[in-house]
Amino acid sequence: MYLRKRALERLAKERVLYERHQGGDIQLCVVYPNVYRLGMANLGFQAIFHIFESDPLVAADRAFLPDPDERDVMRRRGERMVSFERGRPLSEFDVLAFSISFETDYLNVVSILRMAGIPLSRSERAGGGYPLIIAGGSAVFLNPEPIADFIDLFLIGEGEEMVPEFLARFHERRAAEPQERLRGLAQIEGAYLPDYFTPVYDRTGKIQSVEYSGPGKPTVSRRLIRDLNRFRTTSLILTEESVFGDMYLVEASRGCQWGCRFCAAGFMYRPIRYRAAENLIPEALRGLEERKVIGLVGAEMASVPGVAEIAEAVAEHGGRLSPSSLKADCITPRLAAALGRNGNRSVTIAPEAGSERMRKVINKNLSEDEILKTADLMVGEGVDNLKFYFMIGLPEERDEDVLEIARLTGKILERARSRKRPVGRVTISLNPFVPKPWTPFQWDPMQDARSIKEKVAMLRSAVARLGAVELDAESPREAYFQTMVSRGDRRVGRILEMLDAAGCDGPGDIWRELARLRREPVEGIPDPNFFVTRGYGHDEVLPWDFIDHHIHKWFLLSERKKAHYEHQSKPCDVTRCRVCGAC
């Protein structure tokens, strides 16, 4: 088969950095609901696969969304999806475990189940004869509801402890009747059984209440690993086909201390946890035996304790450190010098907003002077390719705030020229604001796509006057779909089924079908605008309210009010502060 041939070619090119075993009698497949090159760049997917594969009870396999050309061949030949390692039909496994990092991959979950010949609805699978379908990952921590009708059981939280507990309990109850087994698995802390929860909607389409039929409280407590030093999270399988194929990845932290009001990672992973530098340095040096570039992974890397020491150690051994993102005011001269060694010519900085006012709104805690000084510092150390992340369409935003992005970029270029320090490539990466659950902006709508396009055009015209600056803007159509699945309830599952049935293979197809649905409503399928361009009421029952992230809702509301008055909050102090409820 065409699909199998490519899998064997990819397997032959992989380098596995741990000892594998044959496994036990639980046939389990870990599924990444996107293509191979993205899945193998995802540390969470690799870590979870390793946990499953290391359990002596399990014979583990992988699966990925087939590439577009593979999907075409499968359609023509009528082939079903098979696993990556063994080429086994997905429908023959005991368990399919989806690892979902991005809500936009929810549509791919539906497509994979269909391509595997597995009924989409969990109610159709209730009688047995099909794999148990479970799901975890950062996307489902926030809001699993758009795919709740397709998944038997969710694991809400970090998997290092949850997965072994799940496997032990599954093994104990393997011979039980499917529904009885599910009820037993739902007793795991952090497990979410959608069968226990039934949303009730009012006449306007809002959630009026959620009926609960399970034991105990109608909440699911998100699981958290307090001490990251107990576990290694690094590249375990290397392949040059990965989008980070030239890197060895090392996770340095989970969460973020700064509390930017749009950022899910800063709230869902609270409290912030770091790995110690004395653990990260040996991991990085071990990685240099495989790759010359060490990718340091986390929400914000300049705040990691000992990061300059890590960068120096990597540089001294002939490699270079590539941090995922850096907060400008946290970059020290020592860190800048270490990053500039051994050919590191590109650094990513995330001001997020162009104006001082908007940075107060989003709680960025970053002044223009700090941004300019950091750019000077990086250019002075030989880093001549600068990439800046900005957002557009943020709550409280005005047109002048958007134009400030061009003005700030122009200032950076002007200062570099005045100091006779040439800047190579400057890239502005512009992303439309997408409201995320469990953030202070979860109640805010996304601006309509037309308004976003107008702002992008306005900014592009201003940036064009600067000369050699590239503006890379994400499509507001893609952001529209992302907002729908981020803020949606279970009824969004019907929309996902519709999109899959229409054969949507990309953002253009998705936008076309959603636009058609808005023009030609279908009974039983909600208007996507209900979840995207509508502000949610502060007293409204939100689709994800049943998850306990250990953050007070009143705290999120107070942060939203501070945004309106352009007031900033201090960074998290996990040693003393107990305000938000996470510590």
Domain boundaries, the chain: 2-221
Short-list 429, 406, 414, CA closest to 372:
414
The H or E element that residue 17 is part of is none
How many whole angstroms separate alpha carbon 484 and alpha carbon 531?
5
Phi and psi torsions of 210, nearest 5°: -125, 115
Look up residue 475 and give its two tokens. 């499509």
pLDDT, mean of residues 263-286 = 95
How many whole angstroms separate alpha carbon 496 and alpha carbon 435?
19
Please tell me what DSSP assigns to residue 327. Answer: -
What percent of the chain lies above the pLDDT cut of 70? 98
**pLDDT interval class at 343 (50, 70, 90):** low
**pLDDT interval class at 152 (50, 70, 90):** very high
Q: How far is CA 167 from CA 90, 99, 193, in A?
A: 19, 16, 16
- Per residue in 519-577, pLDDT (tens digit) is 999 998 999 999 999 999 999 999 999 999 999 999 999 999 999 999 999 988 888 88
How many whole angstroms separate alpha carbon 78 and alpha carbon 5?
17
pLDDT for residue 496: 98
- Per residue in 113-128, pLDDT (tens digit) is 999 999 999 999 987 8
Helices 333-340, 368-380: axis angle to 10 degrees equals: 40
Phi and psi torsions of 430, nearest 5°: -115, 125
Residue 423 has pLDDT above 90, yes or no: no
pTM of the model: 0.95
User: What 3-state DSSP class applies to 574?
Assistant: coil
Phi and psi torsions of 473, nearest 5°: -105, 125
What does the angle CA 149 – CA 496 – CA 478 come to, to the nearest 5 degrees?
135
Q: What is the mean pLDDT of the chain?
A: 93
Q: How far is CA 176 from CA 29, 170, 183, in A?
A: 21, 10, 10
- Per residue in 30-61, pLDDT (tens digit) is 999 999 999 999 999 999 999 999 999 999 99
Residue 418 has pLDDT above 80, yes or no: no
Asked whether the beta carbons of 525 and 498 are under 8 A apart, the reply is yes
Residue in the structure block whose two tokens are 């090392």 = 250
Neighbour-count burial of 529, counting CB atoms closer than 10 A to its CB (0-12 exposed, 13-18 middle, 19+ buried): middle
Query: Most confidently modeled of 1-15, 293-307, 400-414, 484-498?
Result: 484-498
Q: How far is CA 10 from CA 7, 27, 108, in A?
A: 5, 22, 21
User: What 3-state DSSP class applies to 268?
Assistant: helix
Torsion angle of C-alpha atoms 237, 241, 245, 246, degrees rounded to 10: 130
Phi and psi torsions of 172, nearest 5°: -65, -35
User: What 3-state DSSP class applies to 210?
Assistant: strand
pLDDT, mean of residues 135-140 = 96
pLDDT for residue 557: 97
Asked whether the beta carbons of 64 and 99 are under 8 A apart, the reply is no
| 438 CB-near residues (< 8 Å, 6+ apart) | 142, 264, 267, 268, 544, 547, 549, 551, 556
Asked whether the beta carbons of 351 and 366 are under 8 A apart, the reply is yes
The residues pairing with 134 across neighbouring beta strands, listed in sequence order, are 97, 153
How many whole angstroms separate alpha carbon 577 and alpha carbon 583?
8
Residue 134 has pLDDT above 90, yes or no: yes
CA 87 to chain centre: 28
Q: How far is CA 17 from CA 50, 287, 352, 368, 409, in A?
A: 11, 10, 37, 44, 42
The residues pairing with 153 across neighbouring beta strands, listed in sequence order, are 134
Please tell me what DSSP assigns to residue 304. Answer: S
Short-list 417, 441, 469, CA closest to 560:
441
How many whole angstroms separate alpha carbon 30 and alpha carbon 85?
11
Query: SS3 helix, strand, coil % of the chain, rounded to 5?
Result: 40, 15, 45
How many whole angstroms separate alpha carbon 186 and alpha carbon 207?
24
Short-list 42, 452, 459, 433, CA closest to 260:
433
Residue 383 has pLDDT above 90, yes or no: no
pLDDT for residue 336: 86
How many whole angstroms separate alpha carbon 497 and alpha carbon 477?
19
Q: What is the largest CA-CA distance in the chain?
A: 74
Phi and psi torsions of 309, nearest 5°: -65, -40
In sign, the C-alpha dihedral spanning 294, 33, 478, 192 is: negative
- Per residue in 88-113, pLDDT (tens digit) is 999 999 999 999 999 999 999 999 99
Residues in the chain: 583
Residue 344 has pLDDT above 80, yes or no: no
Phi and psi torsions of 62, nearest 5°: -120, 160
How many whole angstroms separate alpha carbon 407 and alpha carbon 458?
13
pLDDT for residue 132: 97
